[in-house]
Structures are given as structure tokens and as C-alpha cells.
Amino acid sequence: MEPQPPPLQAPNPRRSQNTPICIFTSKLDQMRNSHFDLSLHTEPCRYRLLECAAFTSNQELKLFEFSDISNVPYTAISYTWRGNETSNDNPSDPTYWKDVHGTFQVKGALDGDPISLDVLEHVCILALQNQSQYIWLDRLCILQTSKEDKSWQIRRMHSIYKNCVTCCILPGGIRRLVALEEETGWIHRGWTLQEAIVPKHSLVLFRWNHELTGKTISVATAGGSFGPSDVIGGQFTVDGKDIPISVGLFGTRTNRLPTSALMDALTAFGESTSASSRGNSKSGHMKAWTMQKTRAVWKPLKNFKKNIGTAVKQRISFRTSSTFTAEDSDNDGHHSSDLAQEDYSLDQQFDLSEYLPRRNKDISVSFGEEDDTLTPKYQSVWRSAFLRTSSRPVDMVFSIMNIFDVSLDPSDFDKDDRIKATVALAREILKRGGKASWIGAAYGLDPSPELSSFPRFPKTSVNGMAYLDNGQDGMERSAVDAMSETMRGGAYLRESLSGSMDDAGYLTISAPAIGLSFVESRNPAEVTSHNPWVLETQLIASASQTQLSRVTRHLRIIAHDGSVWQLNKFGEVSTNTHATYLVFIGQETWSTIPAYAAGTFMDPAPIRAWIVQEHSPGRFHRVSFAKLWLTFSLMSFPQVTLSIGGPGTF
């Protein structure tokens, strides 16, 4: 039998609705190396908090039970279930941590790191410094052996972090404090998204190997501010300099539902401000294509409803340069850093009247009024959720549901029911009049085989990153890298489609669309290496006006996967076995937050469209996506009602 810490007092049997009840008290030295069983001291469906003053002053771990904590001053802890490695032998090891009080574990949560009593002491002192009397730690305050209590607590997790006085972030986990320069997996964890954006005030607790006495350090950035302050000066040091400090996260205060700056900052993929890409040449050497000059002449489309046109007109001028690495050399060993340079200038105008119904003036476009505040925020929430991971895949849904004002019952789902829970969340959002904002979050990722209005869901684990195994080369790659290949940080779709979803996950929408006929398939790498803007994103054409006039008898587009499609003229029968459509999903725009302002890139092809294909009567699945010119008036096309999902089942 596992050792249990002896309680100093029995629980008070008398329960008053608003009076805290002490359910457990034990000296810290009795907690060392124990396996704590919370079920011996409480019942399911209760709030529980650890008292800070008893911990720091009396060296006691004291738990209280509450029926309501909305007006109780407490600090909630955000951490990783499994954090950074810890060593106890070599003080010169960066992972070294000196245990004074030791650690303990909780029954039902033995797959996580042991809880360090020393780390809890740091958090308690930080909480008291910020006018909190208690701390809330899910490992200790949730009855880990009770499914009933877990379900009850999960539905209230959003309010727990929303109502806390301060959220204390432990990026390296609950086992030890990490140094400021250590890499952690905190941003990749599923629950930490909600834990970062919901609290009114957040602080990060670090180990700081610098002297702060008599010094003031304050750094302001586009993302917020950095100002370290002592928590326990020199108490748990290795060489007299390691001082626990707290760091303000994104300023001292954020809004209850913060700005898109914080949302986008939590989207864990990087963004380069240069318009460049890299790919392998046929020789196997690395070739870099860098856009040196881009000039597109077009009028910004501020209101789609007022821009129903019947012509595409575009002048685009640009230069590409082929830059090789030192490995790219001729037989004599010579190489150049700038071997080729080409200039292009195209005047393209196409009459769309043959592709439209005879009474274009009767076309109705209804996207409704967009909330410029919520649209990027909700897309950022979905995007961050796609990039994060958890030991329980279904938690990727539970961790964001309350942000959309939806509360699913966790007991209705198994731990691996991520797709089923995703469908339930999406249905509730649409039922309440919300938008399908997940479309703009990850439209460039490969579709889910079972739920193709969503991207393929990555593999999840108790630690590490989210990974996808559907790369073109068959190799596993991180979800962060996969998204970076198709989308830019800070970008989002200005429009979000309305619709409905059935139990099978089919999203029914009405959107401007046009029929397509398949032409051919090309190697995506070869297509983008020739000209990343014309061939990857636009109507197929070359610099030769002769070739241009020949191919424009029918308009063609090239999709992200290299497939080439011909737009069907109005009334023209498709050559496909299955009906195929090009469907407008939105115009990509940029967040105006300071963190992305310097990298804002005016894309001459901001229109995003899905290519969907029918696999059973009235049911379609996503095949690929395309980028189109702003003046390519896809909004001129008639609205088509489509049910998009599958093609597989779950």
C-alpha cells in the first residue's frame, strides 16, 4: 500500500453553502514522497483550494472545500503535466533543482510529474504578494480518480481561470522552476491556450541567475512588457544567484477576452516578413527563390456586396532571382550566388460574362455583418488549438469550448473522441448563430479524411508537440511547420461563413461557387519553383502574349496541390465523373496588431477558395484550395448550397 500523509484533523461534517470547509491538513515533511488520495477526504463536484498562509507560515498543506469561489481571492496555476527534466545530483547541471521539502504524487495522476513542495511554496508567496489567499492546482484540487468530478470541473475550467486574481504560469512544469533561457513545451499544451487568454492578470515564475538588488529591469515590446521582480530572494539557490522571479505576461493587465495580439502571439508558428520560399531543385541542391520586387495594381475590395463585376483585370510586375547554395556549382567547381534573374509584366483581362447567369443583377450575396473584433480572435483560437497537443485528444475541444460560450458534457465523450466532440462543438456554435470560423484558421492544411471542413487532426501526446503524418514525402512533421508552409502568421479571413452541421459532421453552407473540370496534375514543388505568384496562386499564363491569348479561351486555376482546373462556363457540362466546385471561403487580410504591422505583406492574390468534389448524392468533400486575385470577382458567381464533410466516417 502506498504511503499516505497523515491528516492532522478530520473534515468538518457541517457544511454551509458559503463557508469554506477544511478537508485536509498535513505537515509538509509528512507529505514528502507520499501518494495523496484526495477521495478519502472529499466528495465529487466541489471546489477545492490550497491555503497559502498555512503553507508559508506553518509549513502545512491545508485544503479547503467551497461551494462557490467566484468571490474568493485565489491564484490559478498554468503548467505542463510533464515538464522539463530534473536532476538532483550535479549543481552545475542546468536541470539541477535543490529539493528542500521534497515531492509527492496524487492518486489518479501518476502519469504526471511529481508535485514539488518547493515550487508550491514559491507560488504561494507569489499569490500572497498579489493579494491571493489560496491557490488552485488541477492536479491537487480535482478528484483525479472520479470521472464525475473531472466532468464537473472541466465544464467550469473557463470560469476558474476567468475569476482568479492571478494566473501563475510555470512553463517548465510543477517539478521545478526553469531558467529564463530554457526551452519549454508550455505553449504546445492544449489547456494552456485557455489558461493564457482568459485570466485578467498573468505572471510567469522563473529561476533567475542574476542579481536584482538595487536594479530595475523593464523591457517593452510589441507583445507586452517584461519586468522581473523577486519572489524568494536567494532562498533556494545553487550558487547564491538563482532567485525565483515573476515576470508579467503581456503587460500587467489584459482584457477578459484579450486582443488579437495575444491570440496571434499564442499561435505557435513563426512568420518571416520576407516573401521567400525554399525548395529542392532537380539536382537535389537547395534553391532559394526570393521576391525582389512586387507591384500589383488593384483597388482594395472593401465591400464584396458592392463589387459584383463581370471582368478580371490585373497588371502585375515582379522580378524573381534564383539563388543557389555553395553546393550548386558547375563541373569546374564555379558557382554564383545570383545565377538567373527574370522580369515579368502581364496585362490580363478576361470577360466573365460567359461564366455567369444571364441576370447577374439578381445575384444575392449574404455573409451578414462581420464583427471585426471576434472574427480574428475566434480564428486564432481554432488555429492555436490545431497546433497544440494533449494526452487526451478530446481535451483539445474541451479546452476551447467555453471561449465560444458552449459547454459540452465531458461524460458524453471518451478521451479519444476528438472528432465527435469537435462536431458537437461546431454544431452548437452554428446553432447559436455563430460562424464557421475554423475555416479561416487552417484552410491550407490537408483536410481531415472524416471531417473535411476541418484540417487533418494531428497526433497528440502527454508532452512534446503536435505532429502530422500526411506529408507529401510520407514523413512525419510538426503541425507548426505544416501550417507555416501554407499560411502566414497574423493572417486571417475577413469573412466567416454561416451554416449548419449535422451529426455526421457535414457542414451545409451557401457561398459563391462555380463548376470545375479537371485538366491535369502537376508537381506542386515544380509549379512553385518556376514562379511562386503566377503559377501557384493565379490563372495559368506565361509572359508570352501569344500563349496568354491561347489559354484564356477557358479560365483555369491551379490549386495548392498542383492540380489544374478549368472553370465551367454557365450551362456547360462538367467533364468530371463527380461534380466539382470552386467555392469562395473568404478574403485573407492581416491583423493590425503592432507585432505584425512591420511584416504586413500586401498579397496580390488574397482570395481563398476551396475545391470540393461530390462523393455521394448531395455530399461533397474538400480536395484542395486555391489563391486568387483580388479582382477575380468570384463573388459574382451564383451562390450554391453545399454539404461538405467526410468522405470517411467516424
Q: Pairing between strand 224-226 and 229-230?
A: unpaired
Before 647, cis peptide (omega within 30)?
yes
- pLDDT tens digits, residue range 526-559? 654 433 333 333 344 433 444 433 434 567 788 8
Distance CA 378, CA 260 (A): 9
Q: Which of 280-289, 515-524, 573-582 has the lowest mean pLDDT?
A: 280-289
Answer yes or no: is pLDDT of 141 > 90.
yes
373 Cβ neighbours under 8 A, 6+ residues apart = 260
Distance CA 192, CA 93 (A): 28
Residues β-bridged to residue 104: 115
Contact 350, 552 (CB under 8 A): yes
124 Cβ neighbours under 8 A, 6+ residues apart = 50, 52, 55, 56, 135
Task: Give the pLDDT confidence score for residue 20 in this predicted structure.
Answer: 93
* Selection from 312, 392, 397 nearest residue 632 by Cα: 312
Answer yes or no: is pLDDT of 40 > 90.
yes
Task: Give the pLDDT confidence score for residue 199 in this predicted structure.
Answer: 94
- At residue 637 the predicted structure's pLDDT band, cuts being 50, 70 and 90, is confident
Contact 190, 396 (CB under 8 A): yes
Answer yes or no: is pLDDT of 65 > 70.
yes
Distance CA 130, CA 143 (A): 27
Answer yes or no: is pLDDT of 187 > 70.
yes
Task: Give the pLDDT confidence score for residue 46 in this predicted structure.
Answer: 95
Task: Give the pLDDT confidence score for residue 262 in this predicted structure.
Answer: 39
- Locus of grid cell 534573374: 341
**More confident position, 649 or 284:** 649
CA dihedral sign of residues 396, 398, 402, 408: positive
- Locus of grid cell 484579450: 258
* Selection from 158, 153, 43 nearest residue 404 by Cα: 158
**Per-residue cell: 199:** 485570466
Task: Give the pLDDT confidence score for residue 460 in this predicted structure.
Answer: 83
- Locus of grid cell 496568354: 548
- Give the mean model confidence (pLDDT) for residues 455-463: 85
- At residue 319 the predicted structure's pLDDT band, cuts being 50, 70 and 90, is very low
Answer yes or no: is pLDDT of 523 > 70.
yes
- Give the mean model confidence (pLDDT) for residues 296-312: 33
**Per-residue cell: 7:** 491528516
Average predicted confidence (pLDDT) for the chain: 74
- At residue 569 the predicted structure's pLDDT band, cuts being 50, 70 and 90, is confident
Q: Which range has the top average pLDDT, 2-16, 18-32, 222-236, 334-348?
A: 18-32
- At residue 400 the predicted structure's pLDDT band, cuts being 50, 70 and 90, is very high
Q: Pairing between strand 340-351 and 311-324?
A: antiparallel
Buried b (16+ CB within 10 A) or exposed e, 46-66: bbbbbbbebbbeeebbbbbbb
329: three-class secondary structure by DSSP = coil
Distance CA 578, CA 581 (A): 10
* Selection from 531, 538, 537, 532 nearest residue 552 by Cα: 538
Residues β-bridged to residue 321: 290, 341
